[in-house]
């Protein structure tokens, strides 16, 4: 989403056209904001997104009308994530920080150690079947506590599906908010994490300190 410098465009037509090509970036920002509002009001805006800076890097937050549908780490490449959602959900996507204000606020509170439970509407359409069952269970693991992949497999009624629990956590579309970071290997090792091992260590450290 890199915008060209809207003030400068070489039209090759000479200085007189600079009169017409000169644009105020704030004006484009105002028009964008108006588009967000009008598109949402007419019900043709399927996905909205924003980004927020956190101690584990810049997170991409994406929501549908129903709620938060995707949280992505920078390591997942936000543009790839949005391109994927354009294919699987809808290409009617606009940046709209206003619509994600409460998600951003709750994440800020969480990273400041002032929030233990997220209270956000979630749209879980990106997880299916057994993976969805696993992800539904995760918020039951209390803040500051952990479970092993085997314990989670047992909790969702399929004790042998330890590897499947691992892959459910590894493909969690809503990391941080749905706490897959609270699931560890039975030997106490971290196991993998979408946002990288440092991010998982940071989140567990944050929660154990509070």
Partner 1 sequence: MKPFEQLVADHGPTVLRVCRAVLGPGPDADDAWSEAFLSALRAYPELPWDANHEAWLVTIAHRKAIDVVRRRARTPVPTDQLPESPSLLGIPGNDDDELRQAVAALPLRQREAVALHYLAGLPYAEAAELTGSTTAAVRRAAADGMAKLRAFYRRGQQPAADVAAPDASEGAIR
Cα 176 to Cα 196: distance, rounded to the nearest angstrom:
12
Q: Which is nearer to partner 1, 86 or 150 (CB)?
A: 86
> CA 199, 137, 140: angle at the middle one, nearest 5?
80
DSSP at 193: -
Binders of partner 1: how many residues, by CB under 8 A? 45
CB-CB contact of 150 with 166 (8 Å): no
The beta-carbon contacts of 115-118 under 8 Å, at least 24 apart in sequence, are: 116/143, 116/144, 116/210, 117/143, 118/177
Site stretch for partner 1 (CB under 8 A), options 8-16, 140-148, 156-164, 195-203: 8-16
Q: Which residues from 49-68 bind partner 1, rule CB under 8 A?
A: 49
| Among 16, 26, 119, 187, contact with partner 1 (rule: CB under 8 A) | 16
Q: Is 112 in the site for partner 1 (CB under 8 A)?
A: no
How many angstroms from the chain centroid is the CA of residue 69? 7
Q: Is 15 in the site for partner 1 (CB under 8 A)?
A: yes
Site stretch for partner 1 (CB under 8 A), options 25-33, 66-74, 156-164, 191-199: 25-33
Cα 24 to Cα 2: distance, rounded to the nearest angstrom:
17
Site stretch for partner 1 (CB under 8 A), options 34-42, 111-119, 125-133, 171-179: 34-42
Tokens of 128: 């299916």
Q: Which is nearer to partner 1, 35 or 112 (CB)?
A: 35
Q: Which is nearer to partner 1, 11 or 75 (CB)?
A: 11
Instruction: Put the strands of the sheet holding 93-95 in their side by side order.
Output: 68-72, 57-63, 47-54, 93-95
Query: Which is nearest to 182 in space by CA: 205, 160, 156, 161?
Result: 205
Q: Is 6 helix (H, G, I), strand (E, B) or coil?
A: coil
Q: Is 88 in the site for partner 1 (CB under 8 A)?
A: no
Q: Which of 62, 63, 169, 180 is catalytic?
A: 180
Active site residue 180: yes
Site stretch for partner 1 (CB under 8 A), options 31-39, 135-143, 179-187, 194-202: 31-39
Q: Which residues from 164-203 bind partner 1, rule CB under 8 A?
A: none
Catalog residues that contact partner 1 under the rule CB under 8 A: 1-9, 11, 13-23, 27-28, 31-32, 34-35, 38-39, 42, 44-45, 47, 49, 82-83, 85-87, 90-95
């Amino acid at each position: 989403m890199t915008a060209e410098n809207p003030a400068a465009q070489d039209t090759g037509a000479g200085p007189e056209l600079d009169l017409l090509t000169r644009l105020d970036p704030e004006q484009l920002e105002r028009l964008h904001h108006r588009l967000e509002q009008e598109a949402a009001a007419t019900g043709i805006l399927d996905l909205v997104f924003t980004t927020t800076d956190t101690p584990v890097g810049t997170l991409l937050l994406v929501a549908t009308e129903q709620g938060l549908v995707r949280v992505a780490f920078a390591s997942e490449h936000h543009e790839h994530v949005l391109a994927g959602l354009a294919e699987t959900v809808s290409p009617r996507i606009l940046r709209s920080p206003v619509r994600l204000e409460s998600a951003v606020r709750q994440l800020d509170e969480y990273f400041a150690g002032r929030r233990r439970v997220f209270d956000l509407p979630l749209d879980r359409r990106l997880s299916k079947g057994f993976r969805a069952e696993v992800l539904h269970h995760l918020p039951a693991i209390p803040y500051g506590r952990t479970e092993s992949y085997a314990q989670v497999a047992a909790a969702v009624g399929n004790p042998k599906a330890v590897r499947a629990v691992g892959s459910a956590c590894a493909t969690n579309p809503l990391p941080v908010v749905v706490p897959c970071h609270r699931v560890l290997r039975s030997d106490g090792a971290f196991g993998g994490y979408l946002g990288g091992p440092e991010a998982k260590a940071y989140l567990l450290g944050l929660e154990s300190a509070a």
